[in-house]
Structure 1
Amino acid sequence: MITTILALDLGTTTGWALRRCDGGITSGTQHFRPQRFEGGGMRFLRFRRWLSELHGSAEDIHAVYFEEVRRHAGVDAAHAYGGFLATLSAWCEHHRIPYQGVPVGTIKKHATGKGNAGKEAVIAAMCSLGHAVTDDNEADALALLHWAIDTQEAIA
């Protein structure tokens, strides 16, 4: 049985990739920049609403994988990532969806053969698989999705 898998590259510009039960893959990016007159937590409320909309359109999500980042460019990026991760984990717990973080190096090594590959190499790898990638966030989510399909479904 093919399961629905959601893969996320969390951040202000979140990359996402979804493999549906019919085997079809869709992907893209979603922007959660703070708006001019909204409080700091609104981006996370918009993220949660987007997850729920995606969940509804997919009919069900059986597993969520996210890029586990251990090093950030700055304090603001670290705070934003922490907020997205907290929102995601709470949302998954609420919907009883299993979720797992995957280290960046693991994803890059699976996609390109090198754990320290650059953004362009990951984009090229996803394009070689037939994906029309728009940016590195979408490419990272697609690479994570392919890692999950190739390594986690064999275990289940």
Structure 2
Amino acid sequence: MTTTILALDLGTTTGWAMRPRDQQIAHGFVTLRPQRFEGGGMRYLRFKRWLTELKGVATDIHAVYFEEVRRHVGVDAAHVYGGLMATLTSWCEHHGIPYQGVPVGTIKKHAAGKGNAGKEEVMTAMRVKGHAVADDNEADALALLHWAIASQEVA
């Protein structure tokens, strides 16, 4: 039985890729930038609502993988990532969905052949696989999804 897998590149612009049971990969990105006159916590509430909507559309999600970032360019990016990761992991716990962080270098090596591949190299690798990517976050999520699928096939 094929399981539904969701892969996420967490950030203000969150890339996502999902392989549902029919195996037709869907992907894109969602912008979680706070709107004018909103408190900073609204991005996390919108993210949680978006996850729930995605779960409803997919019927079910059996596993979630997210890009595990250890270094951030700035403090704000680190705070946003931490808040999104906390929201994601608590949402997964609530719904009984297993989740796993995967190091950035592991994803890039699987996608482009080297752990320090740049944004363009990952985007190109995903285009070679037949995905029309418009954003590097979307490409990272797709690369993670392909890693997760390959890892499940090996297990």
What secondary structure is seen at the aligned counterpart in 2 of 1:84? Answer: helix
For the aligned residue pairs, the C-alpha RMSD in angstroms reads 0.6
Counterpart position of 1:73: 73
Where does residue 124 of structure 2 map in the other structure? 124
Cross-structure match for 1:85: 85
For residues 33-54 of structure 1, the C-alpha deviation after alignment (integer angstroms, 9 at most, x for no partner) is 0111011100000000000000
Aligned to 1:15: 15
Partner of 1:96: 96
Q: Secondary structure at the match of 1:66?
A: strand
Q: Which amino acid aligns with 2:109?
A: K
Which residue in the other structure is 2:58 paired with? Answer: 58
Which runs of structure 1 show a deviation greater than 2 angstroms over 4 or more consecutive aligned residues?
none
TM-score by length of 1: 0.98
Which residue identity does 1:64 align to in structure 2?
A: V
Look up the match of 1:43.
43
Cα deviation per residue 1:4-54 (whole Å; 9 max; x = unaligned)?
Answer: 000000000000000010111000000000111011100000000000000
Aligned partner of 1:27 in structure 2 is 27
Structure 1 residue 153 displacement after superposition: 3.6
Deviation at 1:154, TM superposition (A): 2.6
TM-score normalised by structure 2 residue count: 0.99
The alpha-carbon deviation at position 104 of structure 1 amounts to: 0.1
Aligned-partner Cα distance in 1 for 2:39–2:118: 34
Per the TM alignment, residue 88 of structure 1 is displaced from its structure 2 partner at its CA by: 0.1
- Once the two structures are aligned, what percentage of the paired residues are identical? 76
Q: How many equivalent residue pairs?
A: 155
User: Gaps spanning 5+ residues in structure 1: where?
Assistant: none
Give the drift of 1:109: 0.1
In structure 2, what is the Cα distance between the partners aligned to 1:22 and 1:3?
A: 9
